[in-house]
Amino acid sequence: MAKEKIKILIAEDDSFLAQMYSEKLEKEGIEVILATNGVEAIDKMKIEMPDLLLLDLLMPKKNGFEVLQEKLSDEKIRDIPVIVLTNLSQKEDIKKCYDLGAREFMIKAYFIPSEIIDKIKKLLNVE
């Protein structure tokens, strides 16, 4: 039996970036679900149960910190790994994300999309 397709939820309110990451991941054979705000991200996590959440911090309705906080308090989605992908780079923001359970913290401006894809694949142990 074939292994189920890896599913990633991208929570990003910038439609250009969301589409770019989505296309690159789909080329790698990964299923992508998009959320444009924090409330949608939480809802879609509970319904879709993705293998990973790629999370922007600056989003409408609920920011990424609130998403991480709510995710931590929900047993159903608590263990979904999170890569925070943001332009915030303050040490306090980075620490807060790790304290709230993020596995990786990446600053958008410092990484090209292929490096982000590599990080996702490494975290999920995918070739």
What is the pLDDT at residue 2?
Answer: 46
101 DSSP 8-state letter? T
CA distance to 12, 14, 60, 90, 103, per residue, from 39 (Å):
12, 15, 8, 24, 21
Distance CA(58)–CA(60), nearest Å, equals: 7
- Predicted structure pTM score: 0.93
Q: Which domains does the chain have, with CATH numbers?
A: 7-119 (3.40.50.2300)
Q: What is the pLDDT of residues 92-119, one digit of tens each?
A: 999 999 999 999 999 988 888 888 888 8
pLDDT at residue 16 greater than cutoff 50: yes
pLDDT at 1: 40
pLDDT tier, 4 (very low <50, low <70, confident <90, very high otherwise): confident
Q: In the predicted model, what is the mean pLDDT of the chain? A: 92
63-67 average pLDDT score: 96
